[in-house]
Amino acid sequence: MRLSFMGSLSLVAISLAVFLPFHNADASTRIFWNSNGQAMLAARNMDLDEDDKPTIYAMPAGMSKTGGINDNPATWTSKHGSVVIRLSGYGNVCDEGINTEGLAFHYLYMAGSVYETRDSRPGVDGGIYGQYLLDNADSVEKALGLMRDTQLVPGWMGTYYPCHLALEDAAGDSAVVEFIGGQMKVYYHDPGNATYILTDEPPLDQQLANLGLYKGFGGDLPWPGDADSKSRFVRASAFLKTLNNQYWLPIPDLISRLFSAIRPAATPFGAIMFQDDGPEESAWPTLWTSLFDLTNKAIYFTHDMARNDFWIDMGKLKLLPGAPVLSLRADRTDLFGEVSRLLSSPAHPALLLLLLSD
C-alpha cells in the first residue's frame, strides 16, 4: 500500500507541534578534523528534547527517487550508495549520513532560519535533502552546485525543526549552508577554517564574532562551560585546536581523540541553559554521538540511553544497484563492535515510501 506523503507529513507536523518549542532550544555540535594526516573525521552530538528513535539505513545506488513535494519535484536515480541516520520519531527525517565517495552531511537545529521563497527550480523536501545530496554528489563543491540548481523546500521543517547544514568530504573540504532572511548563505573556503565547527543559533558569522572574545582566539575571556550553543561552539573550537597538534597516530587512536573532543561539548541530562534574552530553561540533552571516517568509510556510534558503542564498516555492506535497503535501530542495547552483519530489511517497508521510494 502506497502511503500519502503529504497526509503523513501533516500528522508528523501535528505531533511535532505538541513537542517542539518555538524558541531557542539548542541542539547538537559538530566537529570536522581534517588535519591529522591520516583520515578525514567528522563527529556530531545529537541533542534533543525527546527520544528521536534513530535508525541507520544502508541505501544502495541505482534507486529512482522523487523530491517528495507536489510542486515541480526533482527526480533522480542515486549515483552513490550511502549510510544515513534517520530520526524515526520525527517523521523519518534524514538527519545525517555519508556516501561511498566520502561525502557527508549533518543537519543541526537553528532557530530563526527563514528559507527561500519557492521558485521555478526543481525542489526536494527538506527532510530528505541531505539524502538527495549524498545520492548525487561526490564532493562538497558538487553538493553546493546541486543546492544552487535545485531548491530545498522546508515543509514542516521550516516551522518545527529549522536547520542549517554542514558538509564535508574525503578531500578535506567543508562548508556550512544557512538560510537567513529568505536567502541561502554559503560558507565555503573561508579563511581561518570557519566551517569546521558548527553548533546551533546564532548564525555562523555571529558565532565566529563571539569566538573572537575568548582566549586562544584573540580575546581575554576564559572558555565557557555552560550548555548554551555559543558556549559549546567555543569549547568545540578550542578542543579542535588541541587535536590539530596531534598527527600520524593510528586510526583507532584518532577516533578516540575526536570522541574525547566532542564529548565536552555534550549537554548532560538536566542541564540548564542561560539565554541572553530570556529566563533560564532546561537544555536539550545529548542523546547520541556519531563519528564518520570519510577516508575509510566507517560510522562509529554511541547512544547515551542505550549505553551501546558500535561501528559499521561500509565496505562490508552491499550498496551497489539492485541491493536491498537495510536498516538497524541505533538505540538497541545489544550493539557493540562492528555490526554491519546486523542490518536487515526494514520491519515496516511501507514507511520507506515516505522518503525512499521510486
pLDDT digits (tens, 9 = 90+) for 12-29: 333 333 333 334 445 799
State the Cα–Cα distance between residues 114 and 112, nearest whole angstrom. 6
Each residue's pLDDT, cut to its tens digit, for the chain (358 residues) gives 233 323 333 333 333 333 333 344 457 999 999 999 999 999 999 998 888 889 999 999 999 999 999 999 999 999 999 999 998 766 668 999 999 999 999 999 999 999 999 999 999 999 999 999 999 999 999 999 999 999 999 987 776 789 999 999 999 999 999 999 999 999 998 766 789 999 999 999 999 999 999 999 999 999 999 999 999 999 999 999 999 888 789 999 999 999 999 999 999 998 887 766 666 778 889 999 999 999 999 999 999 999 999 999 999 999 999 999 999 999 999 999 999 999 998 755 444 544 444 3
Which pTM was predicted? 0.89
- Tally of CA atoms within 13 A in the half-sphere of 237 that contains its CB: 28
Provide the domain count of the chain: 1
Q: What is the CATH number of the domain that holds 151?
A: 3.60.60.10
Asked whether residue 101 is assigned to any structural domain, the reply reads yes
How far, in Å, are 12, 21, 201, 204, 233 from residue 228 at the CA level? 28, 16, 9, 15, 9
**Please, are residues 316 and 289 in contact by the beta-carbon 8 Å criterion?**
no
Strands 151-153 and 93-99, sheet pairing: unpaired
Asked whether residue 338 is assigned to any structural domain, the reply reads yes
Asked whether residue 239 is assigned to any structural domain, the reply reads no
Q: Which domain holds residue 44?
A: 5-200+287-354
Asked whether residue 210 is assigned to any structural domain, the reply reads no
Asked whether residue 105 is assigned to any structural domain, the reply reads yes
Asked whether residue 261 is assigned to any structural domain, the reply reads no
